């Protein structure tokens, strides 16, 4: 019997009161979601948590046990509300101290010792056992402890950190997808879509309604790790849409 598809999973923890209050609109979830999908890794859960140590520790421990990779964003800057590194150390039950390599990097950046403030020294603190993640944008590094990657929250910095470690993420079989839109209400296409999924084991079907120019429609997405199967199911879906009087538009 052939092996089933290889599934690799991930979760994201977004840390920061500013996201929860609405002051800052998160831009990291969409980026990481897109990149993980490209890499054949399925994001299974995202949590946005406040700057409360117990909440952060709980989220890290719940998710690192459950998924192959966990990413965190936010809370590794120099201010007193930047508590992510301490929380990661606590979650793993390890100590935390200044990482010699991080001290070297920041010393090189702040050549005048007066500029290398106590607050900036905070950014060199890494949980014991942690490996640095390069920050080509603003020097102060992220880090990885076991399967948990800790990134900055500023989108440009987070993206640079993600890209610096992307090559070391082991993806699963890529989940291929094809999407077909139609100006057919979901209430009309729902039952035929379910039938297509049932008729093609190995296909996952999703329906995402939209409203455009005052008309209701749906984008129907078929997913599978098997390309030939996906192509057959997509043809069947297009035929059904046409049958229902709609015009299938591949998107």
Q: Which among 24-32, 92-100, 126-134, 159-167 is the span making contact with its own copies, rule CB under 8 A?
A: 24-32
Q: Which of 23, 111, 167, 215: binder of its own copies (CB under 8 A)?
A: 23
Element at 11 (helix H, strand E): strand 9-15
Q: Is 48 in the site for its own copies (CB under 8 A)?
A: yes
Q: Which among 21-29, 86-94, 158-166, 242-250 is the span making contact with its own copies, rule CB under 8 A?
A: 21-29
Write the binding mask 168 to 207 for its own copies: x where contact by CB under 8 A, - elsewhere. -------x-x-x------xxxxxx-xx--x------xxxx
Q: Which of 8, 39, 45, 165: binder of its own copies (CB under 8 A)?
A: 45
Q: Which residues contact 158 (CB under 8 A, 6 or more apart)?
A: 28, 31, 73, 151, 152
CB of 210 to its own copies, least distance (A): 7
Instruction: Find, among 178, 187, 175, 176, the residue nearest to 218 by Cα.
Output: 187
Q: Which among 96-104, 151-159, 225-233, 234-242 is the span making contact with its own copies, rule CB under 8 A?
A: 151-159
Cβ-contact 206, 221 below 8 angstroms: yes
Q: Is 42 in the site for its own copies (CB under 8 A)?
A: yes
Instruction: State the burial class of residue 134 (Cβ atoms within 10 Å of its Cβ: 0-12, 13-18, 19+).
Output: middle
Instruction: Find, among 138, 152, 155, the residue nearest to 73 by Cα.
Output: 152
CA–CA distances in Å: residue 82 to residues 170, 176, 201? 30, 38, 47
C-alpha to C-alpha distance for 42 and 9, rounded to whole angstroms: 5
| Residues at the interface with its own copies (CB under 8 A) | 14, 17-26, 29-30, 33-37, 42-51, 55, 77-81, 115, 117-120, 122-123, 137-138, 153-154, 156-157, 175, 177, 179, 186-191, 193-194, 197, 204-211, 216, 221
């Amino acid at each position: 019997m052939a092996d089933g598809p290889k599934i690799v999973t991930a979760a994201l923890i977004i840390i920061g009161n500013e996201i929860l209050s609405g002051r800052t609109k998160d831009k990291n979830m969409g980026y990481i979601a897109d990149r993980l999908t490209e890499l054949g890794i399925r994001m299974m859960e995202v949590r946005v948590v406040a700057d409360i140590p117990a909440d952060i520790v709980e989220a890290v421990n719940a998710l690192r046990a459950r998924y192959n990779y966990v990413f965190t964003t936010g809370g590794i800057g120099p201010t007193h509300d930047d508590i992510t590194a301490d929380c990661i150390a606590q979650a793993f039950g390890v100590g935390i101290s200044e990482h010699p390599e991080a001290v070297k990097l920041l010393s090189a950046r702040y050549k005048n010792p007066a500029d290398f403030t106590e607050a900036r020294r905070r950014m060199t603190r890494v949980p014991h056992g942690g490996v640095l993640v390069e920050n080509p944008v603003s020097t102060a590094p992220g880090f990885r402890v076991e399967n948990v990657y800790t990134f900055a929250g500023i989108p440009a910095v987070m993206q640079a950190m993600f890209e610096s470690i992307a090559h070391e993420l082991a993806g699963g079989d890529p989940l291929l997808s094809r999407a077909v839109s139609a100006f057919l209400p979901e209430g009309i296409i729902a039952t035929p879509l379910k039938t297509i999924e049932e008729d093609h084991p190995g296909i996952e079907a999703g329906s995402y309604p939209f409203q455009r120019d005052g008309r209701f429609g749906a984008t129907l997405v078929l997913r599978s790790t098997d390309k030939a199967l996906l192509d057959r199911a997509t043809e069947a879906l297009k035929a059904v849409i046409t049958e229902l009087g709609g015009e299938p538009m591949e998107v």
